[in-house]
Amino acid sequence: MRLLRSTDLALRVLMRLAVAGESRPTTRDVATGMDVPYTHLAKVVAELQHMGLLAARRGRGGGLTLTERGRTASVGAVVRAFEGDGDVVDCEGPTPCPLNSACRLRGALRRAQEAFFASLDPITVADIVAEPTGALLLGISRGAGPRDV
């Protein structure tokens, strides 16, 4: 299974903010530090804000901060939110699969997908930035943008 780009960005934004400390990087700072287009990251940040995982303030003294809900968020829940609950394969697409009514693969893939999500459910954002990851992230973040500490 391959994650969508938006899922990857969401997880990386949460990780980045989890080690931000008192700094409040802007969406542009984070996009620059991650070397991703600002417009793509802005959409991800808006969704994370809608989910209550981060707070965004505009203007002087503004920027992004991770909420307590974001720090304790389940990685599995974040991945589910961004990936959706659709099937791994599209059996109903423009050319429906002729095996659809008697296929056993679809169910097996659904169970595998659920096992994947379930394995991520007990892991929190705080868990994935624990040492040694947090220190490495912090080092990378220092060079990411002018407002980052």
Distances (CA, A) of 29 to 36, 55, 131, 142: 10, 15, 24, 11
pLDDT given for residue 121 in this prediction: 96
Question: How many distinct helices (H) and strands (E) make up the chain?
Answer: 8, 2
Closest CA to 6 of 83, 90, 118, 120: 83
Q: Tell me the pLDDT tens digit for each residue of 52-85.
A: 999 998 888 789 999 999 999 999 999 999 998 7
pLDDT given for residue 101 in this prediction: 77
Instruction: Yes or no: say if 36 and 85 are a contact pair by the CB < 8 Å rule.
Output: no
pLDDT(108) > 60: yes
Could you identify the residue written with the tokens 């959706």? 84
Record the pTM.
0.83
pLDDT(93) > 60: yes
pLDDT(36) > 50: yes
Instruction: Yes or no: say if 67 and 54 are a contact pair by the CB < 8 Å rule.
Output: yes
